[in-house]
Structure 1
């Protein structure tokens, strides 16, 4: 069990980098071949500022902050987010960087609630991101 856990405990921040290669690999693994994830023309045609990362890739990558902290993904009871802004991934070697931070907002025995904040280029990309964890599992 992770100790001590109390309301206000901050998790170590996580930095995640997305490149066009990341998007191609995720598209293959998820079979989500929507052209907004690889074609500038398709993305801008529907009003996006450019090629964007898959929402579930963004969501799953942010959850790594908690799974790394608890050491076992099976301890996750619930995870919910709102997608507030897409991550635009430029066609260059650097890509886009998401910074994920988290803090404990509730503790009830072994049950812990963690709020995540995910930001890319100073813009919040996930809103209302909450993770419920069972540390006793």
Structure 2
């Protein structure tokens, strides 16, 4: 498999529900009430209960790990939080749409730009991952 700048990775669409927030809180130990209490989220001026930032960031990286065949190929990953992912208590949750494009390839490393949106709003800014092509499943190098 050849990897070139401009290559688009398959789009990833994920639903994040309140149950996911509970599971993440248990795994991470982050029980901040902005992640589970509508009352508290409202009191601090948020538009509703929001997903944990690190859950959003990790979920967005799946677009790269799915393409690369696992996390072992990822050398680095960075992103800024631009908007919270509001997760309604409606049994459906919030839809996170993640798109990614290879922006550069040099010395066996692909740089991948990632765009994550929820309800049409960009939720991560300047998100990018570096992928060691020699470690990509299927031999992308």
Which residue number in structure 1 is paired with residue 107 of structure 2? 109
RMSD: 0.7
* d(CA) in 1 for partners of 2:73, 2:2: 17
Matched, 1:51 2:57: no
Instruction: Compare the two structures and name the one with the higher strand fraction.
Output: 1
Q: Where does the alignment leave 5 or more consecutive residues of structure 2 unmatched?
A: 136-141
* d(CA) in 1 for partners of 2:52, 2:16: 10
Task: State the secondary structure of the residue aligned to 1:11.
Answer: coil
TM-score, scaled relative to structure 1: 0.96
Task: State the secondary structure of the residue aligned to 1:25.
Answer: helix
Structure 1 residue 110: deviation in Å? 1.3
Structure 1 residue 4: deviation in Å? 1.5
* d(CA) in 2 for partners of 1:53, 1:111: 31
Structure 1 residue 136: deviation in Å? 1.2
Which residue number in structure 1 is paired with residue 37 of structure 2? 39
* d(CA) in 2 for partners of 1:134, 1:65: 15
Q: Where does the alignment leave 5 or more consecutive residues of structure 1 unmatched?
A: none
Deviations 1:66-111 (A, max 9, x none): 0010002111111000000000000011110000000000001310
Structure-to-structure mapping, 1:1-137, within 5 angstroms: 3-137=1-135
Moved over 6 A (4+): none
Number of residue-to-residue matches in the alignment: 135
